[in-house]
Amino acid sequence: MKKTANRLADGREILYFDARDDAVRDAADRRPLPSTATSSEIRRDPLLGEWVAVTAHRQSRTYHPPADECPLCPSRNGRATEIPEPDYDVAVFENRFPSFTGGPAPEAAGDPHGLFPHRPGAGRCEVVCYTADHDASFADLTEPQARLVLDAWTDRTAELSGHPGVEQVFCFENRGREIGVTLGHPHGQIYAYPFVTPRTDRMLRSAAAHRERTGGRNLHDDLRDAEVADGRRVVASGEHWVAFVPYAARWPYEVHLHPRRRVPDLPALDEAARAEFPRIYLDLLRRFDRIFGPEEPPTPYISAWHQAPVAAAGRQDFALHLELFTIRRTSGKLKYLAGSESGMNVFINDVPPEAAAQRLREVASP
């Protein structure tokens, strides 16, 4: 893999990841872009103890442009985009409309009531373009292309984890208009948060309680091994990875992909796991597109890498894993987060996890 860094016209960084060592990426961005202006702030909810980002500047971000005006395609035929090169393998650049941006944040500011702490939404947000082909999806990539994306995720996780003030790095993909995607080009994002996310904090606390309760056992290891031993919810497996529908799945079709050897984050994966990942992951994505039959449009999904925080207590107990789920519950119908889910965070799943796993096994490649 060859990595090349450059700058866009407004000063944002762009990185190219190429399979060929002789690739040259030196095209200049000649667009007359103004400097980016952001107003990100994070506020702490005094009831839940969770940070919420307030980002008014994102209201003006690009929204469903026609294909011939896509900002994530290469710059060709006189049309300049976010990516100055006429072609690319994988491109990563700073988001023009970031939820988090800037250097380390100061301590949370107080208020006369002592209930409304806030501070700048420091951190970094990046866009990851998987391919120059506008009409493709991640599932259309070859295994070498998918491996290059994995290498890009790994590189960015390692670098962003070293940024002052960053506490957690999150690589993810939103796919489909039903999810809320505003750009159709195959891409994902990376958020470098200035705090540990609520979901991760809860997993860390559960792991600590399990260790205490069991005399030192690891929750993630025990859970993975129990799913493998039970077998009913296992969807796919290899020598170094196993994918299963979790016992208490929240979403109609939800799969967790774990390396068989526990590691805290992407940089800690060994070469054997890296080499096998593309085959397993591409297989899962292609199964998702076959769940509801050939007449249905591509399945909307969220794919999310859960990684250990950069330096939180209990980091050694955390297990890297990928969560893949869809909000489509059956043909032509979506799973909405209504009163119970949105109001009380109590999920109600109409598809038994065992039935979801069986369906995902049925739609494996012939």
Residues known to be catalytic: 187
| E runs forming strands in the chain | 2-7, 13-18, 41-45, 50-54, 90-94, 118-120, 124-129, 168-175, 187-193, 234-237, 241-244, 253-259, 301-306, 321-326, 328-330, 333-334
Q: Cα separation of 356 and 358, whole Å?
A: 5
Pairwise CA distance, residues 278 & 289, whole Å: 17
Give the three-class secondary structure for 5. strand
User: Six-digit token pair at 129?
Assistant: 């373009």
Cα 118 from Cα 43, distance rounded (Å)? 4
Write down how long the chain is: 366
List, in sequence order, every residue forming a beta bridge with 118; answer none if it has no partner: 43, 109
Q: How far apart are CA 54 and CA 56, in angstroms?
A: 6
**Which amino acid would we find at residue 101?**
T
CB neighbour burial string for 33-71, b if at least 16 within 10 angstroms, e if fewer = eeebebebbbbbeeeeeebebebebbeeeeeeeeeeebb
**Phi, psi dihedral angles at 243 (to 5 degrees):** -120, 135
Instruction: Tell me the C-alpha to C-alpha distance, in Å, between residue 203 and each of 49, 79, 200, 267, 353.
Output: 16, 46, 5, 20, 20
Contact 122, 192 (CB under 8 A): no
